[in-house]
Amino acid sequence: MTPDLYIQNGVILNPLTGKSRRADIRIRNGEIVEVGSNLTVSDERVLEAKGRIISPGWMDMHVHLRDPGEEHKETITTGCRAAAFGGFTAVACMPNTNPPIDNREAVHSLIKRAEELPVDVHPIACVSRGRQGKDLSEMAELAATGAVAFSDDGSPVQNGSLMRRALEYTSVVGKPVINHMEDLSLGPKGQMNEGIISTNLGLTPIPTFSEESMLGRDLMLAELTEGHLHVAHVSTARSTAMIRDAKARGIHVTAEACTHHFSLTDEMVEESGFDVQTKMHPPLRTAEDVEAIRAGLCDGTLDAICTDHAPHAAFEKETDFVSSPFGIIGLETAWGLTGQHLIATKRLSVAEAVNRLCVTPREILGLDVPALEAGAKANLTIFDATTNWVFESRHIHSKSRNTPFVGSPMTGRAWAIYNKGQLVEHQP
């Protein structure tokens, strides 16, 4: 545990109200004991915040830790290290591991192994046993053990009857079902977004309607069952409009957007010369889709910002575009991209952006939002929203390095986190 800590000259932001105030924070034994101005410094370590913002710790609700089974890509330890340097004090990890997270022993193991790490790890368990899309997992048992949601992410639930029963169970267990929206029959073996560019490049397309058709099915099932549907990594303008309409009709649906889907378009595939780091799933879409994602985050149609952090080892990516696996890392670029594309452009205020990175992910998953007040466990992120910098390879703390953003401009930087009695500082 970090020795007693005194954080001075910070600006404390409440993302629930949008209000901020300059104050100091005193932490002892991992607990906030005092918040105020010009407090007396005692025998403790002093961390000079230099006027930077202090908010409740951020959470990424969509990451792949690859542990167990693919530790050559990432481990719980390295994934949490990347999260910490990206400003996150919590992550929710997807169950497409080997073996899948479909039993209470696996859920318990993940939670136990992360206890000593500075980042909280919240397991998402499988919707179906073995992620096979056939038999419903023991959702009540998994939720009781600590699963915060259910998903077969990476293997979209194709069976409508199974999805209906899963959504019915959400009312019983109080946890959402998260679906990767894709009708696999509509874009088999697809490599990138369907459009002029895929035609020019001769790459097998993934049409937008493969996402939208399954979303339509699941929205109707959510309306029928009154269950909680969470839509993973929304990538199209029509999907965003469908979710907006569903919310207006009172359907219990929440949704997330990934940082790369509001930062890059499918033109990047061509401009980069088939760079395998531009291959992700859902694929990069058109400028119209990117604009719709940004608008959806601004008006609250899309509730949360996430990364879909998907590490792959170098040898897996060192191949041709078609053979390369989908996915990029994202934990350490999340805030810089949010600042560059949403805050600096005045689409979101700092408080609104933090809300989508801190408050709404926890609300969706039924978790408490950390409080920055005396008597609360210290769980916080120190950051700014104005530093202009360039992301470089040396900034990567993940075990994998698959990202298209090396050399990209960023706005805003996470400087430190404090959680579970541990301080992690970012040295530029």
SS3 54: strand
301 Cβ contact partners less than 8 Å away, ≥ 6 residues apart: 240, 243, 244, 247, 255, 295
Which stretches of 120-180 are assigned E, i.e. beta strand? 120-125, 149-151, 177-179
Under DSSP, the state recorded for 2 is P
Query: Residue 373, Cβ neighbours under 10 Å: how many?
Result: 12
Q: Which of 245, 308, 320, 368 is catalytic?
A: 308
**Structural tokens at position 309:** 């952090």
Under DSSP, the state recorded for 44 is S
SS3 6: strand
**Structural tokens at position 370:** 């950390």
Q: Please state, in angstroms and rounded to a whole number, the distance separating the CA atoms of residues 237 and 171.
A: 29
- Quick check: is 102 catalytic? no
**Structural tokens at position 392:** 């470089």
**Structure-token match 């997330």, residue found:** 256
Residue among 310, 203, 292, 201 at smallest CA distance from 255: 292
**Structural tokens at position 210:** 């493969």
Residue among 394, 259, 402 at smallest CA distance from 329: 402
Query: Residue 267, Cβ neighbours under 10 Å: how many?
Result: 16
**Structure-token match 């940082």, residue found:** 259
Q: Please state, in angstroms and rounded to a whole number, the distance separating the CA atoms of residues 201 and 199.
A: 5
Helix/strand/coil (H, E, C) string of 84-132? HHCCEEEEEECCCCCCCCCCHHHHHHHHHHCCCCCCEEEEEECCEHHHC
Q: Please state, in angstroms and rounded to a whole number, the distance separating the CA atoms of residues 421 and 139.
A: 32
SS3 417: strand
Q: Please state, in angstroms and rounded to a whole number, the distance separating the CA atoms of residues 103 and 85.
A: 31
Residues 354, 289, 338, CA angle at the centre, nearest 5°? Answer: 20
**Structural tokens at position 199:** 């035609």
Q: Please state, in angstroms and rounded to a whole number, the distance separating the CA atoms of residues 12 and 54.
A: 5
Catalytic residue numbers read 308
